[in-house]
A and B are shown apart, each in its own frame.
Chain A
Amino acid sequence: METDPLLDLYAVLGIPRIADAEEIRRAYRGLAKRFHPDSGTGEASAERFQMIEEAYRVLSSPQQRREYDHRLKLQEQKARAVLSCQVLTSRETLPAMETEQMLYLLIEIEPRGEFKPRRMPLNLGLVIDRSTSMEGNRLNSVKAAAHRIIDDLQEEDTLSVVAFSDRAEVLLPGQSMKDRARAHALVSSIWAGGGTEILQGLRAGLEQVRRFQRSDRISYLILLTDGRTYGDEEDCIVEARRAGLERIGISALGIGEDWNDLFLDRLVQQANGVSVYVSHAQQIRQILDEQVRKIGRLVARDLSLTLRFSEHVWLEAAFCAAPQFDRLVVEDGTCKLGPLFQGEMVSALYELVVGRAEPGVHRLLQWELTAEALGPPARQERLEADVRLNVSAEPPPEPVPPRILTVLSRLSIFRLQEQAWRALEEGRVLEAGRQLEAVATRLLDIGEYELAQMALLEAGRVAQGAQVSKKGHKTIKYGTRSLGIRTPG
């Protein structure tokens, strides 16, 4: 889809972009005389002369000049862009057909190779669940992780720590990392006791983060919890949405098996975050550490992709394929893709139905990507293009691009387990068991033995009429979700 770069016609004529018709004409006359092949000035050049003629032809017509200006602007936007976008379809040439056929579209977004972001100061808030169930290993691991973060943060960064149970307590008010000893002491003083009311913690945590929120900082809140919150879930979602609008990100670590995955997933989606399943206390330190490092590599946020389909083309389903598998909510052709981190990519897979394909070259759709690229200075970025497709009565055999196949094969496992849980909820037990078995088989195919074993175990449980274990459910859900390919190809 790459076209030749546009020639800067203004440079050819040596005039500013705001030149009026008279200036254009004068510049053209002067140059045409100088470079005309018959001019005898010693500078005669047929090639140069042709370029000048072409520049004048385009710029002297108001209509053509407007179109050219628009294309030039797009090209320059793209050249300055922080993001690059690769679009792949499962076929380049469709067979001509009167009936419906499927086509897969994969859009991969990554930071441009040459783009090296400068580290921006972090404004980090830790919100730690200190309910009774956290007592022992879990809380100790969280503390160890917090100590590590305090040591790793740089002086320009700020950190706040809030502990919550039935009520919230600001342990470490937001402050720069100049006095680490005090921060260590305060973190050490956390003790366990009480219930889990996430709203309390979330509000207190956000309040601390807001105090240091500035446009040249990356503000994130990380929630660590092991339990369910009751009655205040919708209020939490409202808080998270507000934080998202204020450019504060929220990520969550769910520890153990008892937290509400659907709730935490929804919570972080509001605010450019991710939810992570932590099955063992020993993993807390590593995972939290990874999350903090990742936040420091934020390149762009609020990625939003809009597709406009041509006639006879419609959307069957849309999925996020990276950084992890998920269903995409599409509203008016637009879906939110969250944040993008250096060294990673965000990708979306669309299942399209082509209703009717007649021979020829057709525009399948237009896409537009918008995002806020982090600075300095932060700015809005916009990329757009068409996707065109050949349709032929006798299409040549062509292999499906391997990247699409890999994504689809792994995505199909994620979808199968989704279906299994749904079947189970609706009481279609036999079907759920069969689907979990299929999940296990497909996992074995791709060498995911541990996950496959877990799926098989749960399939067995279901077949015997028993409940699926919470651990099994979370392991399979979060395991298959992260089968996506995260790094650019």
Chain B
Amino acid sequence: MIACPSCGKQHRPGTLFCTECGVYLPAGGTLRTSPLPTDELPRPRAVAQERELAGIEKSEASRPLYLYVVVENRRELRLPATAEVLLGRLDAAHGILPDLDLTPEGGLEKGVSRRHAKIIQRKGEFFIEDLGSANGTFLNDQRLTPYLPYPLKVGDKIQLGRVSLEVNWEGQNSQE
């Protein structure tokens, strides 16, 4: 039997989630190698970057530093291209503070979820992932499967609910 690390309930070997408290049971032995269930695990960036840097000149190893987002062909925003950029609608009461808040674009009426989608940077490439939004995220008119990252190209059209965006980015070699 294996004991739940959180509540101590005993389970048969092979059990993955505690029925008592819902905790994932990374029980001993080979089960330990299983991936964790959440879609939002931090990814092993450090390793990936080291490998990338190893064979390449430092100057070439530049990664995009800024992400430009043109919202509805009017507002252009420059966002620091951090590991993750959250797109959605501000809800201070619930502590949801997206990096790109689409409230001014009429996000609520146009069906933007509070946590709608995120742009992820990995090894200098950008991906977009829908966060299970109510009205979906579209990449060049294709609806994305929630919780799966899709690669982005410069100039791609993204649609969150009925709000459309265009993404661009630029790499910079010098430190600012």
Contact = CB atoms under 8 A, between A and B. Distances in A.
A117 to B, nearest CB: 20
A370 interface: no
A446 B146 CA distance: 12
Q: Which of B34, B35, B40, B95 has the most CB of A within 10 A?
A: B34
Interface stretch (B13-21, B46-54, B64-72, B156-164): B13-21
Contact of B131 (A397, A412, A447): A447
Contact of A416 (B12, B15, B22, B115): B22
B34 to A, nearest CB: 5
B123 interface: no
Contacts of A419: 20
Contacts of B18: 412
Nearest to A103: B14
Contacts of A435: 21
B14 A408 contact: no
Contacts of A354: 14
Contacts of A94: 14
Given A397-B30, A402-B35, A438-B21, A447 B40 contact: yes
Contacts of B140: none
B24 interface: yes
A102 B22 contact: no
B63 interface: no
Contacts of B145: 487
A409 B14 contact: no
A440 to B, nearest CB: 11
A102 B13 contact: yes
A445 B38 contact: yes
Interface string A394-411: 011111101001101101
Interface string A82-111: 000000001100110101111110000000
Nearest to B21: A438
Contacts of B14: 90-91, 94, 101-103, 354
Given A397-B30, A416-B22, A90 B16 contact: yes
- Chain B at the A interface: mostly helix, strand, loop or mixed? loop
A447 B132 CA distance: 9
B96 interface: yes
A412 B17 contact: yes
B16 A413 contact: no
B40 A413 contact: no
Contact of A449 (B12, B24, B33, B115): B115
B95 A104 contact: no
A453 to B, nearest CB: 5
A399 B22 contact: no
B35 A409 contact: no
A412 B38 CA distance: 13
A446 B39 contact: yes
Interface residues of B, number: 31
B35 A399 contact: yes
Given A102-B14, A102-B15, A450-B94, A397 B22 contact: no
Interface in B64-120: 94-96, 114-115
Given A445-B38, A449-B115, A398 B12 contact: no
A97 B13 contact: yes
Contact of A395 (B19, B30, B37, B132): B30
Contacts of A398: 30, 33
Interface in A391-442: 395-400, 402, 405-406, 408-409, 411-413, 415-416, 419, 435, 438-439, 442
A353 interface: yes
Contact of B17 (A97, A409, A453): A409
Contacts of B38: 409, 445-446
B18 to A, nearest CB: 8
Contacts of B122: none
Given A101-B12, A450-B94, A399 B114 contact: no
A435 B176 CA distance: 49
Contacts of B39: 406, 446-447
Interface string A35-49: 000000000000000
B23 to A, nearest CB: 8
Interface string B135-171: 0000000000100000000000000000000000000
Given A405-B16, A409-B24, 10 more contacts: A90-B14, A101-B14, A102-B14, A103-B14, A405-B35, A415-B22, A438-B21, A438-B22, A446-B39, A450-B114
Give 5 closest A-B pairs by Cβ, nearest first. Answer: A409-B37, A102-B14, A412-B22, A412-B17, A397-B30
Interface of B: 11-22, 24, 29-30, 33-40, 94-96, 114-115, 131-132, 145
Interface of A: 90-91, 94-95, 97, 99-104, 353-354, 395-400, 402, 405-406, 408-409, 411-413, 415-416, 419, 435, 438-439, 442, 445-447, 449-450, 453, 487
28 contacts: A94-B14, A99-B12, A99-B13, A101-B12, A102-B13, A102-B16, A103-B14, A395-B30, A398-B30, A399-B35, A406-B37, A406-B39, A408-B16, A408-B17, A408-B37, A409-B38, A411-B17, A412-B19, A415-B22, A416-B22, A419-B20, A438-B22, A445-B38, A446-B39, A446-B40, A447-B115, A447-B132, A450-B114
